[in-house]
Amino acid sequence: MLNIALFGPPGSGKGTQSKFIIDKYSLTYISTGDILREHISRQTTLGLQAKQLIDQGHLVPDELVVKLIEEKLNNAAKTNGFLFDGFPRTCSQAKILEQILAARRLNLNAMVSLEVPQAELVQRLLDRAKVQGRSDDTKEVIEARFKEYASKTMPVIDFYKALNKYHPVNGVGTLDEVFVRIQQVLDAFEK
């Protein structure tokens, strides 16, 4: 099994690179952002709660996203491994992920962190807004998301450093260039 958390600030290319990774390594994709957006479009109680926070650039409470992750893991078909995109985003989520994987006799092999300078991130997000029209890709909300990232999500790096699971990858370059760098990290676990 190969279990990976793909980490990085908004706009670092997690969603795009995830597609390449799950194809090459036959992993089951779990994106908390996608699951939340699906709840919003179905207008579930959870979706209505989450929408207000997402539209303000805030994180959704840990208990809520952990519940979504557990549901996905419980209902997953047999797989070669899991790719978590956008989760964990707080140290508490990271600790709980270790526990819920251990309870299933699984282990997170690596946290791959896509590193991109902030000026480039803002430009990418504003470009994405023109194409995808995500409600949280406006200038004000992007700023709020970066603040949340700096205060709550960045500390997750130290959590994985301490476990020797942190693998920084330069996220600047073409899609192929970045994917080659990610493969250099992941191929080491396949051997």
Q: Is 83 helix (H, G, I), strand (E, B) or coil?
A: strand
Residue the block writes with tokens 């207000």: 52
**Residue 53, interface with ligand AMP (CB under 6 A)?**
yes
Q: How far is the CB of 9 from ligand AMP (least distance, A)?
A: 9
29 binds ligand AMP (CB under 6 A): no
Site string for ligand AMP, 64-103 (x = CB under 6 A): -x--------------------xx-x---x----------
Query: Is the separation of the CB atoms in 171 and 115 below 8 Å?
Result: yes
For every residue of 37-53, DSSP letters joined together read: HHHHHHT-HHHHHHHHH
Site track 134-163 with ligand AMP (rule: CB under 6 A), x = hit: --x--------x------------------
DSSP 8-state class, residue 100: H
Element (H or E) spanning 113, and its range? strand 110-115
Q: What are the residues binding ligand AMP (CB under 6 A)?
A: 10, 32-33, 36, 53-54, 58-60, 65, 86-87, 89, 93, 136, 145
